[in-house]
Structure 1
Amino acid sequence: MSEFGAALQAYNQEIVKCLEELKRKREEMLDIICKQETNKSVLERNINVLKGKLDVLNERLDRDKSIFEQYEHTIKETEEGFKKSKGILYP
């Protein structure tokens, strides 16, 4: 029985040792996960800031393109009118 008891005690000690190692690895993983979640939060905030900036830029770009098109239209009409008036004045 003493051999059996000694073997059982050795197995128990090995199980305790394995459990301690698993707990240590679990704590390491928890630290890694916490760091990753922090990084994720930072990236999500940065994405939201950049998305907001992109939205503002797109609005300005649309507005500026519209103004540009108005200039184009005004220039074209003015040039056509000028050509017509030139033709009338200098046939």
Structure 2
Amino acid sequence: MTQQAAALQTYNNELVKCIEDLYSKREELNRQIKLEEEEKERLQHDIQILSEKLSKVEKSLAQRLAARATFDRTIGETEAAYTKILESSQSLLSVLKQEAGNLSRATEPRRKDH
């Protein structure tokens, strides 16, 4: 019976050791879970901050794009108006030269052909 008691004691010791190993592995797993939960919270916080920054940048970008469109429109309208002014100035200059020539001929004494 001593042999059976010794075998039972060995089994008991191994069982206790297995249970202790399971507790140790469970504690290590708990530690890893806690670390990952902390990492998850930090990442969620970072995502929130980045989302807010993204929203601000998108709003600013939209405003700047609208301003650029206004500049483009104003520049286009101004260039078109300036082109019309140049064309009108050219026409005015041409008419003025023609009229000046007509006036010069009208005010010159007439030569008599002999």
- For the criterion TM > 0.5, the same-fold answer is yes
Does residue 33 of structure 1 match 2:33?
yes
2:79 aligned partner = 79
Cα offsets for 1:53-89 (capped at 9, x unmatched):
0111011001101100110010011100110121112
Identity level (%): 35
Structure 1: 5+ residue stretches without partners: none
Residues of 2 paired with 1:20 and 1:87: CA distance? 98
State the Cα RMSD in Å: 0.9
Structure 2: 5+ residue stretches without partners: 92-114
The residue type paired with residue 23 of structure 2 is K
* Offset at residue 29 of structure 1 (A): 1.1
Does residue 46 of structure 1 match 2:38?
no
The residue type paired with residue 72 of structure 1 is D
Larger-Rg structure: 2
State the TM-score, normalizing by the size of structure 2.
0.76
1:90 aligned partner = 90
The residue type paired with residue 90 of structure 2 is Y
Give every structure 1 segment of 4 or more consecutive aligned residues whose post-TM-superposition deviation is greater than 3 Å: none
- Provide the secondary structure at the position in 2 that maps to 1:90: helix
Aligned length: 91
